[in-house]
């Protein structure tokens, strides 16, 4: 099992939206960065745990936990002419973008802010501390444990 951080803008899709989704599950769609896509396509596996991180909002930070319940498959939005994620270069034979399914596990007792993560010297490897802007990033087991402790 691996650990991940998935960023989302809560005005578009929040941890509450995931909790309220049918079967508490959704496709993690709209990833349009090649490195983040490659993580989803090649490394994110069923059973992995995911920190849901709210970004571009007043309270930026880790809000809750989800589980990957389906591994990468073609993002249907890339084929939808009416989608903001439509990609004219994508074909069903050669899709460019993927999604994974994530299922809500729980909210954190307290949101763990970016500021708190940056100030915690025990959190050492997470890309957030280095100005990481990827929407999907790996989290070491040690950093995962530290961030979860910070929520209590």
pLDDT at 129 over 90: no
| Position 3 confidence tier, pLDDT thresholds 50, 70, 90 | very high
Mean per-residue pLDDT for 13-29? 97
Do the Cβ atoms of 28 and 100 come closer than 8 Å? yes
Write the DSSP symbol of residue 117: H
Looking at the structure of the chain, the number of domains it has is 1
CATH label of the domain that carries residue 122: 3.10.590.10
Residues recorded for the chain: 152
Instruction: Supply the pLDDT for residue 132.
Output: 75
Q: What is the pLDDT averaged over residues 82-104?
A: 97
User: How far is it, in rounded angstroms, from Cα 144 to Cα 123?
Assistant: 8
| CA 103 to chain CA centroid, nearest Å | 11
pLDDT score, position 130: 85
- Nearest CA to 68 out of 11, 113, 4, 138 is that of 4
Q: Could you tell me the pLDDT band of residue 131, with boundaries at 50, 70 and 90? A: confident
Q: What is the pLDDT of residue 85?
A: 96
The neighbouring-strand residues paired with 52 are: 6, 64
pLDDT at 42: 98
Categorize the per-residue pLDDT at 133 as very low, low, confident or very high, splitting at 50, 70 and 90. Answer: confident
Confidence of residue 143 (pLDDT cuts 50, 70, 90): very high
Supply the range of the domain harboring residue 104: 3-150
pLDDT averaged over the chain?
Answer: 96
For the stretch 116-125, pLDDT in tens is 999 999 999 9
């Amino acid at each position: 099992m691996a650990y991940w951080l998935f960023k989302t803008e809560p005005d578009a899709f929040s941890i509450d939206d995931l909790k309220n989704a049918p079967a508490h599950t959704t496709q993690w769609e709209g990833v349009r960065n090649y490195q983040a896509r490659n993580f989803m396509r090649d490394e994110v596996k069923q059973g992995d745990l995911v920190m849901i991180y709210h970004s571009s909002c007043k309270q930026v930070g880790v809000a809750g936990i989800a589980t990957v319940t389906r591994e990468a498959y073609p993002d249907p939005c890339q084929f939808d002419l009416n989608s903001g994620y439509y990609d004219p270069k994508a074909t069903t034979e050669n899709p460019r973008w993927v999604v994974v399914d994530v299922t809500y596990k729980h909210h954190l007792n307290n949101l763990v802010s970016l500021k708190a993560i940056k100030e915690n010297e025990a959190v050492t490897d997470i890309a957030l501390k280095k100005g990481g802007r990827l929407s999907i990033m790996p989290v070491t087991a040690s950093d995962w444990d530290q961030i979860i402790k910070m929520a209590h």
